[in-house]
Structure 1
């Protein structure tokens, strides 16, 4: 029997505690008042000023914590504002439990103000969506959402009418397991098939992806790569690093265009992809992904990636134990030379009168940041410079948006720092990108998140300018104007976030020398807006 006076809200808080969902990321609305008012002392609330930032902060937090985060959104307007960020969370494979407010159940039939058609609003990006049939089913639905988000690796939505929270709790148990164990054993037949395929290769190559970004998988992949004496490539448009990028055998990021992809992988008879789809690309080019005679195999714990990847052999399993067993089974290729990747030398500092470029900023960062730094990236026109000059040297050393939509880096960096308050976190963001998540700076300042935001300011959407020039006849003319009058550091200051602007290389290195050593202990964010010359070439 339930306790007298015990409500659905009380029962739901017990579910949240059981699953570690004791921090609510939200931008509140009236349909959530009954849920959020007078929170218990052990439930924390994190406010962001736009729903995209709410989901972005939660996404960074869940990524760093490696478990689901709890998001609360306000009916149609809140869910609608958050759809892009929810899509990014899904493509980044980040689990979120999302409680969406709905109008009072007792007059939904009359389509009242603030009611919404919520179940299809986010499309197919949620891994699970439900509106409980009765108030008493809410706690069980939230418990199931935790399992659905974790196993489906994406947002799981529970739509809760506002009056449900005060309804009496049910006597029946919630419709979800209290504890769920997942089998992690590796199928010996799968290892046999991979061993036979890779063992016969004359010139193998490894391609790693975001789903290999953990210490155990990095260790297993290093062992496998060194045993095979083969080059290791990072997948295109990677959200995370799947291999230590300062390792001698790390060869860089695969190109996203098919002709260049074929060229890079030519000569390899077997390409083993670990923790990545095969292959994410943009823009479209005709032709096959690899040359005739190249066999592609995939090891991934994401069944969806396995289902849509055109490979010769796919194994759905946790990558770390598969790669470790594979390395133990394969003979060492002692006759093969160990590949040593060509490293791009950092650019020399600009001379007097020379413009400051993004590559100068990246090189200055790379010379100063410690290996444990988390670098969160959203600078589309200069991402290749960051990849070449700022290698990820530890798991979670690099984080980006696999979806490609803007507005991720600023809030995600805040969420990472909230989850790891003693780890250095730097967001490297274009000024155009920053405007999609600028409201999140208020949260960084209010909650004392010591993130360093380095904003590369060229006053335009530079990558769009280059795309237009590439597409048009004789150099296309973009119809959109520059926005050089926008002051990102001024906007940051207006949101209560410390900020400054630097216009020269000496000023930049002076500020970095002062700030970077403080990042582990820093409890105050800082925006450094750096004036840079727009790039004139399309990123490779």
Structure 2
């Protein structure tokens, strides 16, 4: 039988034991509450303060979340005082708030609620699902947010969402079970180990939250014990595993179809220090291949609460993985070892390409180099050709907006003056943070800024042409001189236009990076994609 949003949401509530619903209904909740299934009980309160108060007592008594249904602005407004009390009483509540029909919200019809923010800071979390299909996952996440935050978590749902059909096998943005442990609880470790030991072909996915010496040590030991591949999350801002390790399989793709293909054959994916899974362009279908189970370990609650995992562990990844090494059964080596395809390097024919720049850097950079990246069009090549070999070996902007690389590299070198710091930038990216060069020069920050100048937003040009969006309206900006901008800000700069010149400059500069106290910008002329 095909489910709709309402039916799937009821399944989520059942899974978490929220079968008693406290409410004072209005017209925006009619489609949710009429013809309730027999296993769900509705408790009427004659005022929203009573509704939330009863749910608060229920939650305190049972030491788990209680479910509340409120009616748009009037219902939430009447309940604010009681919600504040629930927060201070540390009572976990899952509060579903009705909203007018999504299809005409733009016209602000009668009973439209301006609901986000109406309860002030008292909710521990507020979710407004963008699409009807996101409602069940948002309710599931609210359960975990209420538990972790010890207070009311709100979900705002337009009234027409409840009858929208849900695609079979839809992925909900919430885990089934969350465990929290300050230190590795033996029972939690045993629960993790049972899932891992039950898998015949596990895989590990790592992310920025695993970028620490302790996590790297634990994860290399765990990967060896499981004889399994280790993938880096897509768009990871830091490396969660040594990328020159023989078990490193590469970076996960950011599209669902390619992601399923990459993880096909694995019956369990253990994700450490990252959510499941970061995407870029939307693609339909599930995140994981059919039959693949998912487990996530992260120290960040907001990551695990939106991860579609069978088990989510909110804890320090390094400590949990270190305990897990001794708890899991050793797996035999796979018949087919990991074989990463080498990146073809086009011959140099008078025009430098990013592949040439990265190859030359890889041959010279010390293992403890901190590589800061902000070159969107060539980032995949950089990952393949210049691996992170030590913790904090790779740093990038987690959000994706431009302007991070130059100032971040400057700050990293200020904080760690004896580690080599190299920023690999596009010229378009550099312009967003170019002012940081003045600070680098003024305060004697010896970072190397390698700016690949093509006078274009190469990633945007590629997206416009490859994705079939038509002719781009933006012009190139070849008249902008990165070396000229650098020198005007007091930062020494050298223009490089050929391979011999690049090699000469890198041979002179790279050996000095550990103790260098003067910044340098290499303005490297490269071809466009």
**TM-score normalised per structure 2:** 0.65
Matched with 2:527 is: 533
1:523 aligns with 2:521: no
1: CA distance, partners of 2:450 / 2:432 = 15
Give a deviation string over 1:500-536, Cα, whole Å, max 9, x none: 111101100110000000101110000001000111x
Alignment of 1:388 with 2:381, yes or no, is: no
Q: Secondary structure at the match of 2:465?
A: helix
Classify the secondary structure of the residue corresponding to 1:435: helix
Aligned with 2:312: secondary structure?
strand
Contact 2:231–2:250 (Cα < 8 Å) also in 1: yes
| Paired position in structure 2 for 1:490 | 484
Residue 337 of structure 1: CA displacement? 4.2
Over 3 Å counting, the alpha-carbon distance change for 1:394 and 1:343 in structure 2 is farther
Q: Deviations for 1:389-428, whole angstroms, at most 9, x for unmatched residues?
A: 0000000000001100000010000000000111100000
Which residue of 1 is the match for residue 288 of structure 2? 290
The reply to whether residue 371 of structure 1 matches residue 367 of structure 2 is yes
Output one character per residue of 1:142-161: Cα deviation in whole Å (capped at 9) or x when no partner: xxxxxxxxx99xxxxxxxxx
Alignment of 1:416-455 (within 5 A): 416-455=412-451
Q: CA deviation at 1:472?
A: 3.0
The match for 2:399 among 403, 422, 433 is 403
Task: Give the secondary-structure state (helix, strand or coil) at the position aligned to 1:198.
Answer: helix
SS at match of 2:303: helix
Q: Which of residues 451, 456, 468 in structure 2 aligns to 1:472?
A: 468
| SS of alignment partner, residue 438 of structure 1 | coil
Structure 1 contact 230–338 (Cα < 8 Å) conserved: no
Identify the match of residue 223 of structure 1 among 203, 221, 224.
221
1:460 aligned counterpart, secondary structure: coil
Match of 1:325 in 2: 323
CA distance, structure 1, for counterparts of residue 370 and residue 182 of structure 2? 28
2: distance between equivalents of 1:185 and 1:361? 44
Q: Give the structure 2 partner of residue 210 of structure 1.
A: 208
Partner of 1:76: none
Q: Does 1:281 align with 2:279?
A: yes
Partner SS for 2:302: helix
The residue aligned with 1:270 is: 268
The equivalent residue for 2:246 is 248
Larger radius of gyration: 2
Which structure exhibits the higher relative contact order, with contacts defined as CA atoms closer than 8 Å and separated by 6 or more residues?
1
Deviation at 1:363, TM superposition (A): 0.6
| 1:342 CA drift (Å) | 1.5
Post-superposition offset of 1:297: 0.4
Contact 1:204 1:228 in 2 (8 A): yes
Is 2:235–2:278's contact at 8 Å kept on the other side of the alignment? yes
1:235–1:279: 8 Å Cα contact kept in structure 2? Answer: yes
Tell me the secondary structure at the aligned position of residue 432 of structure 2.
coil
CA distance in 1, matches of 2:498, 2:189: 55
Distance 2:333 2:228 in 1: 12
Shift of 1:338: 7.3
Aligned to 1:85: none
Distance 1:478 1:345, change over 3 A: closer
Contact 2:181 2:314 in 1 (8 A): no
Find the aligned partners of 2:515 and 2:322 in 1 and give their Cα distance: 36
RMSD of aligned alpha carbons: 2.1
What SS does the aligned partner of 1:444 have?
Answer: helix
The equivalent residue for 1:362 is 358
Please report how far the alpha carbon of residue 311 of structure 1 lies from its aligned counterpart in structure 2 after TM superposition: 1.1
Q: Counterpart in 1 of 2:340? A: 342
1:45-194 alignment runs, 5 A limit: 184-194=182-192
2:503 corresponds to 1:505:
no
Listed as ranges, the gaps of 5+ residues in structure 1 are 1-119, 129-150, 153-181, 536-540
Q: Is the 8 A contact 2:483 2:493 kept in 1?
A: yes
1:456 alignment partner, SS class:
strand
- Quote how far apart the aligned CAs of 1:323 are: 0.7
Question: Shift in Å at residue 340 of structure 1?
Answer: 2.8
